[in-house]
A and B are shown apart, each in its own frame.
Chain A
Amino acid sequence: MIECKGVNDMEEKILTNETVKSAAPDRVIKLQIKDMTKKYDNGDGVEHIDLDIYEGEIVTMLGPSGCGKSTILRTIGGFLDVTSGDIQIDGKSIVNLPPEKRPTAMVFQSYNLWPHMTVYENLAFGLKLRKTPKDEMDREIKRHLEMVGISGMETKYPSQLSGGQQQRVAIARSLLLKPSVLLLDEPFSALDAKIRQQMREEVKKIQSELGITIVFVTHDQEEAMALSHRIVVMNKGKFEQVGTPSEIYDNPASRYVASFIGEMNFIPQADGSTMAVRPEEVFLVKDGEACDMSGTIRTIMLLGHYVETNVQCGENVIKCYVQREDIEGVNVGDKVNLKFAKHHVF
Chain B
Amino acid sequence: MSKEKKRMAFGYALVMPAFLVVMLVVAWPIVTAVQKSFTDPETGGFTFDNYLYFFTDPNQLKNIFFTMFVCFATVAIAIVVAYLLALYLRFVKSPVARLIGNLYLIPRFVPSLVAVYAMITIIRDSGLINRISLLFGADVKLGMMYHASGMITMNLWFNIPFAALMITAGLGAIPDSIIEGARDVGATKWKTFTSMILPLSYKDVVVASTFVFMSNVGSFTTPYLMGGNAPKMLGIALFDQFNKYLRYERAAALSVIMFLICSVSAAVYIYTNLKEKDWEH
* A interface residues with partner B (beta carbon < 8 Å): 77-79, 98-100, 104-106, 108, 110, 112-117, 125-126, 129-130, 157-160, 173-174, 177
Partner of A99, one of B180, B196, B200, B280: B180
Closest to A115 in B: B279
The interface residues of chain B lying within 8 Å CB-to-CB of A160 are: 278, 281
**For the complex, what is the distance from the CA of A106 to the CA of B279, rounded to whole Å?**
23
26 contacts between A and B (CB under 8 A): A77-B180, A79-B180, A98-B183, A99-B184, A100-B183, A100-B185, A100-B187, A105-B184, A106-B181, A108-B181, A112-B177, A112-B181, A114-B181, A116-B199, A116-B277, A117-B279, A125-B185, A125-B187, A129-B185, A129-B191, A130-B186, A157-B279, A158-B279, A159-B280, A159-B281, A174-B184
CB of B198, distance to nearest CB on chain A (Å):
10
Partner of A126, one of B175, B186, B280: B186
Partner of A125, one of B195, B199, B281: B195
The interface residues of chain B lying within 8 Å CB-to-CB of A130 are: 186
CB of B183, distance to nearest CB on chain A (Å):
4
Asked whether B185 lies within 8 Å of A114 as measured between CB atoms, the reply is no
Partner of A116, one of B180, B186, B200, B281: B200
**For the complex, what is the distance from the CA of A160 to the CA of B185, rounded to whole Å?**
23
Asked whether A114 lies within 8 Å of B182 as measured between CB atoms, the reply is yes
Q: Is B188 an interface residue (CB 8 A)?
A: yes
The interface residues of chain A lying within 8 Å CB-to-CB of B280 are: 159
Q: Is B246 an interface residue (CB 8 A)?
A: no
CB of A308, distance to nearest CB on chain B (Å):
42
**For the complex, what is the distance from the CA of A130 to the CA of B279, rounded to whole Å?**
26
The interface residues of chain B lying within 8 Å CB-to-CB of A98 are: 183
Among residues 158 to 186 in chain B, which have CB atoms less than 8 Å away from a CB atom of chain A?
Answer: 175, 177-178, 180-186
* B interface residues with partner A (beta carbon < 8 Å): 175, 177-178, 180-188, 191, 195-196, 199-200, 277-281
The interface residues of chain B lying within 8 Å CB-to-CB of A79 are: 180, 183-184
Asked whether B200 lies within 8 Å of A115 as measured between CB atoms, the reply is yes
Asked whether A112 lies within 8 Å of B281 as measured between CB atoms, the reply is no
Asked whether B184 lies within 8 Å of A77 as measured between CB atoms, the reply is yes
**For the complex, what is the distance from the CA of A129 to the CA of B175, rounded to whole Å?**
22
**For the complex, what is the distance from the CA of A108 to the CA of B175, rounded to whole Å?**
12
The interface residues of chain B lying within 8 Å CB-to-CB of A126 are: 185-186
Asked whether A106 lies within 8 Å of B184 as measured between CB atoms, the reply is yes
Asked whether A173 lies within 8 Å of B177 as measured between CB atoms, the reply is no
CB of B210, distance to nearest CB on chain A (Å):
21
**For the complex, what is the distance from the CA of A275 to the CA of B227, rounded to whole Å?**
89
Q: Which 7 pairs across A and B sit closest by C-beta, in order of nearness? A: A126-B185, A112-B177, A157-B279, A99-B183, A112-B181, A129-B186, A100-B186
Closest to B202 in A: A116
Asked whether B200 lies within 8 Å of A112 as measured between CB atoms, the reply is no
Closest to A113 in B: B181
The interface residues of chain A lying within 8 Å CB-to-CB of B200 are: 115-116
**For the complex, what is the distance from the CA of A116 to the CA of B200, rounded to whole Å?**
7
Partner of A114, one of B186, B188, B196: B196
**For the complex, what is the distance from the CA of A78 to the CA of B186, rounded to whole Å?**
12
The interface residues of chain A lying within 8 Å CB-to-CB of B277 are: 116
The interface residues of chain B lying within 8 Å CB-to-CB of A112 are: 175, 177-178, 180-181
**For the complex, what is the distance from the CA of A174 to the CA of B180, rounded to whole Å?**
13
Asked whether B177 lies within 8 Å of A110 as measured between CB atoms, the reply is yes
Closest to A126 in B: B185
Asked whether B175 lies within 8 Å of A110 as measured between CB atoms, the reply is yes
Asked whether B180 lies within 8 Å of A108 as measured between CB atoms, the reply is yes
**For the complex, what is the distance from the CA of A108 to the CA of B178, rounded to whole Å?**
10
The interface residues of chain B lying within 8 Å CB-to-CB of A113 are: 181
Closest to B177 in A: A112
Asked whether B199 lies within 8 Å of A100 as measured between CB atoms, the reply is no
A112-B175, A114-B181, A116-B199 as given contacts; A100 in contact with B279, CB under 8 Å = no
**For the complex, what is the distance from the CA of A245 to the CA of B185, rounded to whole Å?**
31
Closest to B180 in A: A79
**For the complex, what is the distance from the CA of A104 to the CA of B185, rounded to whole Å?**
9
The interface residues of chain A lying within 8 Å CB-to-CB of B180 are: 77, 79, 99, 106, 108, 112
**For the complex, what is the distance from the CA of A174 to the CA of B182, rounded to whole Å?**
11
The interface residues of chain A lying within 8 Å CB-to-CB of B184 are: 77-79, 99-100, 104-106, 174
**For the complex, what is the distance from the CA of A158 to the CA of B277, rounded to whole Å?**
13
Asked whether A125 lies within 8 Å of B178 as measured between CB atoms, the reply is no
**For the complex, what is the distance from the CA of A105 to the CA of B199, rounded to whole Å?**
24
CB of B246, distance to nearest CB on chain A (Å):
55
CB of A162, distance to nearest CB on chain B (Å):
14
A100-B188, A129-B191, A159-B280 as given contacts; A114 in contact with B178, CB under 8 Å = yes
Closest to A177 in B: B185
Given contacts A130-B186, A157-B281, 4 further A-B contacts (CB under 8 A): A79-B184, A112-B178, A114-B178, A116-B277
CB of A38, distance to nearest CB on chain B (Å):
16
